[in-house]
Structure 1
Amino acid sequence: MEHFNTASAEDLEQTLLSCLRSPRWAGRVAEHRPYPNLDSLLAAADEAAYDLTWADLIEALATESLPPLPPDTYSAAHTALSAAHAAYEARFGHVFVICLDGVAPAEVLDRILEAIRSRLTNDPEEERAVTADELRRLARGRLLTALKGAGNCAINH
């Protein structure tokens, strides 16, 4: 936590924006430094994500992309995923996001396709809530990864 708490404002902004491309979220997380421990940082990051407006989320979604498929994925799967994603974007007007933390590489394709197909049945308001939750989960996972990358030995997730 020391590295996070003492990082320059510019470095911290870059780190936070790499987790979620929302200046409002990054600003909220940064302004509450110093954090006494990882749990308080993650709680603040979650709270800041819950407080984002749909406009903030659309801004963050603009830089998101589908998660990469394992390198040995067959071409028909790429075609199926592209078609499902196009249907999703046509219905909801934004990229499909999903947090795949903890999903085995061999299960990624099935999980993505299953989620897109399932979420295509959501009404727009319901999908907004699901999308916001997936972005929050992505930001949290990326923040943990960024902290590990900074040499934070306190993180053992």
Structure 2
Amino acid sequence: MQTRAAPVTPSPLERFNTAPAEEAVATLLTCLNSHHWAHRLVSHRPYPDLPSLLAAAEEASYDLPPDDLTEALAAEGLPPLPADTYAAAHTALSAATAAYESRFGHAFVICLNGMPANEAVDHALAGIRSRLANDPDEERQVAADELRRLARARLTDVLRGAGL
């Protein structure tokens, strides 16, 4: 009697490395909505490990031309907040976000990964308030840094099994 080897399930990174280009791009666009960034990462597959992919993603995000940064910022919305956040906090965050978007012409972006849920609203509000004092060029750099942090966190989640 022959023993059959159990089929090996590919890791999320292996699935990403071997997925059709369109599927891999679509996955990456959920992490950072920049077609330039996504196509660049897909064109350099396969990646030997997650740290290599994350390093490539960060490098590619530093090279985003202004139009691609605008594309990525346009796709962002309010940071996710805990379901039990008070209505007053949502109102304050919405008002602050509207002031931010009026001043800078793009969505407020902040990475709240690793932030305790009970501190997320206060951190987001403090971030908006402090960043409203930035000049537009300085704020575009801060927003790009936050996008990088968001993309890294999202990409890590996707390739640890939450997607693909």
Partner of 1:155: none
Distance verdict in 2 for CA 1:150–1:89, change over 3 Å: closer
Which one-letter code corresponds to 2:61 in the other structure? Answer: A
Which one-letter code corresponds to 1:19 in the other structure? Answer: C
Distance (Å, rounded) in 2 between the aligned partners of 1:2 and 1:51:
26
1:16 to 23, 28, 32: 28
> What is the aligned residue count?
152
The structural deviation recorded for 1:68 is 2.1
Distance (Å, rounded) in 2 between the aligned partners of 1:151 and 1:72:
26
The answer (yes or no) to whether the contact 2:31–2:150 under 8 Å persists in 1 is yes
Structure number with larger C-alpha Rg: 2
TM, length-normalised to structure 2: 0.88
The structural deviation recorded for 1:143 is 0.5
Sequence identity (%): 66
- Considering only aligned residues, what root-mean-square deviation do their CA atoms show, in Å? 1.4
The answer (yes or no) to whether the contact 1:3–1:150 under 8 Å persists in 2 is no
Is it true that 1:128 corresponds to 2:155 in the alignment?
no
Bigger mean CA deviation after superposition, 135-144 or 71-80: 71-80
The structural deviation recorded for 1:129 is 0.4
1:26 to 29, 38, 52: 38
The answer (yes or no) to whether the contact 2:50–2:159 under 8 Å persists in 1 is no
The answer (yes or no) to whether the contact 1:65–1:97 under 8 Å persists in 2 is yes
Partner of 2:5: none
Bigger mean CA deviation after superposition, 1-10 or 18-27: 1-10
The structural deviation recorded for 1:151 is 7.9
4+ long deviations beyond 6 Å: none
Is it true that 1:146 corresponds to 2:143 in the alignment?
no
Partner of 1:53: 65
The 5-angstrom pairing of residues 70-149 of structure 1 reads 70-149=82-161
Partner of 2:3: none
Which one-letter code corresponds to 1:121 in the other structure? Answer: A
